[in-house]
């Protein structure tokens, strides 16, 4: 994936991270449909033993998002 496309995906993920995550006691989930020209759907899910705060859940999702962009972006082509 080109660097410009990675930046676009990162922007979408970070923007939506502020208002769209689903947070339960044991997991935090972000779901995107049509996130870009080559991306139909992205689901980032973080399972943890216990989420104690909304901030903790958002931090876990942000870390997962960064891992996804760094390690999986080539698989999106």
User: Cβ(5)–Cβ(36) under 8 Å?
Assistant: yes
- Is the whole model's pTM more than 0.75, yes or no? no
Tell me the H-state helices in the chain.
3-17, 54-71
Q: pLDDT per residue over 34-65, tens digit each?
A: 666 666 777 888 887 777 888 888 888 888 88
Structure tokens belonging to residue 24: 């339960």
What is residue 74's predicted lDDT score, i.e. its pLDDT?
Answer: 66
DSSP structural state of residue 25: S
Please indicate whether residue 29 or residue 68 has the higher confidence score (pLDDT): 29
Among left, alpha and beta (phi > 0; psi -120 to 50; other), residue 34 is left
């Amino acid at each position: 994936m080109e660097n410009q496309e990675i930046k676009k995906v990162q922007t979408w993920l970070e923007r939506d991270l502020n208002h769209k995550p689903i947070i339960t006691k044991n997991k935090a989930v972000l779901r995107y449909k049509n996130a870009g020209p080559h991306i139909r759907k992205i689901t980032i899910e973080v399972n943890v033993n216990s989420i104690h705060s909304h901030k903790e859940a958002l931090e876990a999702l942000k870390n997962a998002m960064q891992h996804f962009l760094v390690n999986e972006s080539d698989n999106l082509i």
